[in-house]
Each structure stands twice: as C-alpha cells, then as structure tokens.
Amino acid sequence: MNLSDERLERLAHKLRLPDVPALVSSLAQEASTKEWSFPDFAEALLQAQSDLSDARACDTLQRLAGFPARKTIDAFDFSFQPSVNRKQIQELASCAFIERVENVMLLGPPGVGKTHLAISLGVEASKRRLSVKFTTASRLVASLAEARTAGTFSRRLMGFVRPSLLIVDEVGFLPLDASEASLLFEVVCRRYERGSIVLTSNKSYGEWGEVFSGDTVIATAILDRLLHHSTTIPIKGESYRLKDRKKAGIVTTPAG
Ligand code: ADP
Ligand code: MG
C-alpha cells in the first residue's frame, strides 16, 4: 500500500466510510472508461458507499428482529388472496404508519398469509433503518414471565418497548391466563401512542374474550388501546399451505 492509499484508508476510517478505499479502486476503472467528470465520480463513490451502508444496516436490523423466515411483499401472491388489497399493503409498506404510530391488525384463519405480511412489513421497516422485533404472543409472555422470576423484568420489557415496530404474531393461538394477559397488557400500554404494533390473530375481535380465558375486561382494555389508531386487515379465503396439496388431490375440503 503506498502513502496516499494509507492516507485514504485513515480518512475513510475516521469518517466511517469503510468501503471508500476499495470503491475508489473499483470505480476508477469505470470512471476512466466512461469519462466521468470529477463531480460524477464523487457522486458515484458516495452513492456506492451509501448503498453498502444501508444494506449492512438492514442486514443487522433484520438479524436483530428475529424473523422466523424471510418473506417479502414481492413474494406475496395477491391474486391467490383477493381479500387482501394490494394498494393498501403497498401503502403500509411505505411505513408511514410507523411514523404516525399506528397499529396494523392482520386477522384471518390459518395459512392465509398473516405472518408472511407481518414479516414483510418488518422487512420494509428495516430497509428504512427502523428497528423491529418479531415475537409471538406466547413467546412474549413466556419471556416476560421468565424475566420477572429472574429479576430482569424492566430490561426485558424494554426489549419489547424500544423497537420502532413490534410484531406480535399468533395472538389467540393459545389462550392466555390472567397473569399472561397482564404481561401482554403491559406491553400494549407501554407502546400505546409511542410505538407501532403489527399483530396477527386467527380470532375475530368478538372472540378476544376467549383468548383471555373469558376475561372480557382485559380483552377490551387491550383491544381499546390497540384499535385506537389502527388499520384492520381481515383476510378471508383459502390456506396457501393447502394450495398445492389440494391441487394434488390430497386435501379435498378447505382448512378454515
Ligand atoms: P398464517 O400466518 O396466516 O397462518 P402464513 O403467512 O404463515 O399464514 O402463510 C403460510 C405459508 O404460505 C407461508 O410460507 C407463506 O409465505 C405462504 N403464503 C401465504 N399466503 C401467500 C400468498 N398469498 N402468496 C405467497 N405465499 C403465501
Ligand atoms: Mg402465522
């Protein structure tokens, strides 16, 4: 490495532009072939560094989010699920709802794409450098109950409160007892008007009493806060999971 390379390396490090030295070499060739002006070169260099930094930040945020699978809106087949409005999902994908601190409630039977869409919105948020945490209702309450026993409740709670977007999947999948319901309530209260929640449930709002083991008071209190500033997306239709099996004649009735 010659002296000017070393100086470039040091400055790039100081300015936190780690890829600039490598980019200078790789773009120099292109600049000369395409006869770029100096400003063109400077712009291409900074744009390339900015793209690499964004991609790295996005990867880190997605790793921290703990998504169970990688799902994108592009991979969602809207023609299979006509009850999902593509325009509405695209609007949500802009993440303006996170800026406005609104919630998104995805409701519907198994296999209709609730988790897929929830993860996709999380991925879009991470692309905009917004922090995301993905969890299921049962993992959330189990984690907080464990932290309470271990004396680390406040810190664990902050893990669900701090991210710009919290995704709570599978509310209603398993009924929550009174102490579990109070833990979910705590998280919903702490995020109320402070941070967005994307929530999925296989239960309609009328059935939320059952989700909380018949305690309609806590069900109403939680729903009240969740729905105050929110969009509900009710998904009807067939399970995507059974699509291919149905085609093969293995399943003959809709799964519901
Ligand atoms: P739910 O959470 O509603 O039970 P999922 O989101 O887990 O359903 O969907 C089940 C599987 O089917 C996932 O692999 C998901 O990616 C896929 N899937 C569901 N709906 C669609 C769709 N409309 N287009 C593409 N893939 C879909
Ligand atoms: Mg799901």
Q: List the domains of the chain with CATH numbers.
A: 3-65 (no CATH), 86-244 (3.40.50.300)
**Number of other residues whose CB lies within 10 A of the CB of residue 228:** 11
- Indicate the top mutation candidate among 240, 242, 245, 246 to test ligand 1's pocket, ranked by most ligand atoms within 8 A of CB: 240
65 lines ligand 1 (CB under 6 A): no
**Is 77's C-beta closer than 6 angstroms to any atom of ligand 1?**
yes
Percentage of the chain beyond pLDDT 70 is: 96
Tell me how far CA of residue 184 lies from CA of 17, 24, 176, 179, 229, in angstroms. Answer: 42, 51, 9, 9, 18
User: Which structure tokens are listed for 210?
Assistant: 């059952």
Strands of 230-234's sheet, edge to edge?
132-136, 165-171, 196-201, 103-107, 230-234
Nearest atom within ligand 1 for CA of residue 170? 2
Q: Are 137 and 226 in contact (CB under 8 A)?
A: no
Decide: 173 in ligand 1 pocket, CB within 6 A.
Answer: no
| pLDDT over 80 (residue 253) | no
Indicate if ligand 1 lies below 6 Å from the C-beta of 244.
Answer: no
Residue 62's CB: how many other CB atoms inside 10 A? 19
Rounded to two decimals, the pTM is 0.89
Specify the DSSP class assigned to residue 163: S
CB 119 within 8 A of CB 67: yes
71 pocket-lining for ligand 1 (C-beta < 6 Å): yes
Cβ neighbours of residue 24 under 8 Å, at least 6 residues apart?
8, 45
Q: How confident is the model at residue 114 (pLDDT cuts 50, 70, 90)?
A: very high
Report pLDDT digits (tens) over 129-168.
999 999 999 999 999 999 999 999 999 999 999 999 999 9
- For residue 110, give the nearest of 169, 66, 65, 196 by alpha carbon: 169
Residue 255's pLDDT band (boundaries 50, 70, 90)? very low
